[in-house]
């Protein structure tokens, strides 16, 4: 399932999202998934890629914002545990 990260971060009410609020992953579940991928990244390069995708998709998107240095710094800080 190549797009499972997209499915994991979708929210109820979004196009293609879960059918009910009970089916969406909670922030705690997403945090645990992120932590697990962080550990798995030490052992498999694909986990690192999925972790990066998950972190980027969980960042609050600004309206019309492109990739910026500040956003890249936020991702780097999360990976380094800051």
Task: For residue range 37-81, list pLDDT tens digits in order.
Answer: 999 999 998 999 999 999 888 886 554 455 555 555 555 555 665
Q: How many domains does the chain have?
A: 1
Query: What is the mean pLDDT of the segment spanning 11-15?
Result: 89
Give the pLDDT confidence score for residue 42 in this predicted structure: 92
* Residue range(s) defining the domain that contains residue 50: 4-79
C-alpha distances (whole Å) from 82 to each of 29, 73, 74 are 20, 11, 9
User: How many beta carbons lie within 10 A of that of residue 67, not counting itself?
Assistant: 9
């Amino acid at each position: 399932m190549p797009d499972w990260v997209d499915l994991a971060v979708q929210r109820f009410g979004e196009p293609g999202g879960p059918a009910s609020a009970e089916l969406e992953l909670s922030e705690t579940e997403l945090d645990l998934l992120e932590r697990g991928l962080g550990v798995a990244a030490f052992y498999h390069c694909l986990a690192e890629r999925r972790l990066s995708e998950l972190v980027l998709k969980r960042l609050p998107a600004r309206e019309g914002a492109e990739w910026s240095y500040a956003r890249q710094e936020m991702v780097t800080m999360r990976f380094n545990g800051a």
